[in-house]
């Protein structure tokens, strides 16, 4: 199943406008980065690399 960036943006707008869901700044930043990754030419490769870099980050 392929989810495009436009589909994610549509669901984000529905959540914020219709259902009045509040998002923290970090959630919005992650959502924006996810949209940027999905708009690339090879989204699966870029998304895998992005998520792997997040998983290997050292959070302190």
Q: What is the mean pLDDT of each run of 10 residues along the chain (60 residues)?
A: 66 70 71 70 68 64
Q: What is the pLDDT of residue 60?
A: 47
Q: What is the pLDDT of residue 54?
A: 67
Burial 29-39 (b: 16+ CB within 10 A, else e): eeeeebeebbe
Q: What is the pLDDT of residue 40?
A: 63
Q: Where are the domains of the chain?
A: 5-55
């Amino acid at each position: 199943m392929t989810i495009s960036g436009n589909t994610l943006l549509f669901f984000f707008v529905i959540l914020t406008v219709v259902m009045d869901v509040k998002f923290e700044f970090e959630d919005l930043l992650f959502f924006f980065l996810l949209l940027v990754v999905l708009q690339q030419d090879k989204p699966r490769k870029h998304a895998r690399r992005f998520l792997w870099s997040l998983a290997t980050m050292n959070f302190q």
